[in-house]
């Protein structure tokens, strides 16, 4: 059989089948590249729309809001507006925050009240631990801000809780954790499960070192294109079958050759 396989005819046939297998393998690789689809959301957006907070969510309701959406070829960022009464005397810091330009520092967060419920507000970014503590002390000494001032910002989901880093310094902005530590237990009022991030100048921007937050759009989990996965498997099978076909035809030809020799 080896002698037959080394003839010019069967070497040419093997070369042809191997070329087919390579083509099929390349098609399988292409389909694999299309199987795992990454979230295409980027850190930028082309349009911004502003809607009322209570049109998107209710106090104590699960956080289901997606601030980024696609309208045609445009990435639209949805911001929210609401009226708040801020409580600066209960302000605190959240550590390890990163601005879009790469600066690391702290968020200053202020509990607030809407007409319906309590809401945590990330009011600004401070670069440097000592600067953050100084700014926090200044904010805490402010009088209660005017009742129900209009604010506009981005509604973001609660983060996972971690152990606090000290008095009035937290590792994450976890709404359930903060409800237990920063809100008035006697009031037992409703609370929004997300928090409001202020990305524009606001009443706290006058405090030394406090800058507006700069935040990108977080990427979501990728998706699996199961149809492309099926095609990738199919092309892989075809690649293997191309080589198998050559071997099978060679085996049949060898059997016919041996049968003809025995018949003589």
pLDDT in tens, 52-72: 999 989 999 988 888 877 777
**Together in a domain, 254 and 168:** no
Which tokens is 139 given?
Answer: 């904010």
Cα→Cα distances 177→12, 119, 160, Å = 72, 13, 9
Q: Which residue has the higher pLDDT, 170 or 42?
A: 170
State the Cα–Cα distance between residues 110 and 130, nearest whole angstrom: 19
Segment 177-216, tens digit of pLDDT:
988 876 655 556 799 999 999 998 888 888 999 999 998 7
Task: Calculate the average pLDDT of the chain.
Answer: 83
Q: Does residue 168 register a pLDDT over 50? A: yes
Query: Helix %, strand %, coil % for the chain, to 5?
Result: 35, 30, 35
Q: What is the pLDDT of residue 40?
A: 44
**Together in a domain, 15 and 101:** no
**Together in a domain, 251 and 191:** no
With a CB cutoff of 8 Å and minimum separation 6, the contacts of 152 are: 50, 79, 80, 81, 198, 200
**Together in a domain, 242 and 116:** no
**Together in a domain, 83 and 190:** yes
Q: What is the pLDDT of residue 187?
A: 57
Domain count, the chain: 2
Q: Which residue has the higher pLDDT, 145 or 135?
A: 135
**Predicted TM-score of the model (pTM):** 0.64
Least confidently predicted of 103-107, 162-166, 224-228: 224-228
Q: What is the pLDDT of residue 95?
A: 95
Q: Which residue has the higher pLDDT, 101 or 182?
A: 101
Half-sphere exposure of 98 (CA within 13 A, CB side): 5
Q: What is the pLDDT of residue 246?
A: 80
**Together in a domain, 67 and 165:** yes
Domain span at residue 243 reads: 2-35+226-263
Q: What is the pLDDT of residue 83?
A: 94
**Together in a domain, 257 and 155:** no
Taken in order 145, 151, 153, 157, is the CA torsion positive or negative? Answer: positive
**Together in a domain, 135 and 242:** no
Q: What is the pLDDT of residue 41?
A: 47
In a domain, 211, yes or no: no
State the Cα–Cα distance between residues 262 and 53, nearest whole angstrom: 90
Angle at 117 between CA 105 and CA 164, to 5 degrees: 35
Q: Which residue has the higher pLDDT, 82 or 232?
A: 82
Average pLDDT over residues 238-242: 84
Q: What is the pLDDT of residue 223?
A: 57
Segment 5-43, tens digit of pLDDT:
778 877 888 888 888 888 888 888 877 776 765 444 445
């Amino acid at each position: 059989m080896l002698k037959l396989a080394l003839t010019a005819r069967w070497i040419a046939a093997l070369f042809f089948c191997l070329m087919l297998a390579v083509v099929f393998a390349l098609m399988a690789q292409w389909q694999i590249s299309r199987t795992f689809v990454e979230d295409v959301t980027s850190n930028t957006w082309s349009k911004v729309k502003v809607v009322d907070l209570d049109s998107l969510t209710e106090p104590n309701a699960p956080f289901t809001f997606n601030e980024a959406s696609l309208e045609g070829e445009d990435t639209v960022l949805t911001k929210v507006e609401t009226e708040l009464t801020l409580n600066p005397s209960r302000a605190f810091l959240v550590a390890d925050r990163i601005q879009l330009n790469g600066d690391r520092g702290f968020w200053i967060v202020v509990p607030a009240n809407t007409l319906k419920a309590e809401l945590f507000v990330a009011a600004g970014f401070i670069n440097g631990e000592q600067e953050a503590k100084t700014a926090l002390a200044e904010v805490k000494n402010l009088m209660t801000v005017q009742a129900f001032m209009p604010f506009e910002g981005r509604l973001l989901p609660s983060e996972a809780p971690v152990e606090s880093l000290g008095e009035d310094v937290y590792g994450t902005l976890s709404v359930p954790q903060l409800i237990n530590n920063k809100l008035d237990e006697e009031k037992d009022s409703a609370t929004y499960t997300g928090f409001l991030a202020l990305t524009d100048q606001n009443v706290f921007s006058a405090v030394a070192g406090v800058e507006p937050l700069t935040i990108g759009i977080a990427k979501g989990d990728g998706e699996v294109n199961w149809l492309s996965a099926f095609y990738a498997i199919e092309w892989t099978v075809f690649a293997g079958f191309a080589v198998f076909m050559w071997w099978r035809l060679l085996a049949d030809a060898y059997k016919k050759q041996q049968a003809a020799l025995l018949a003589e």
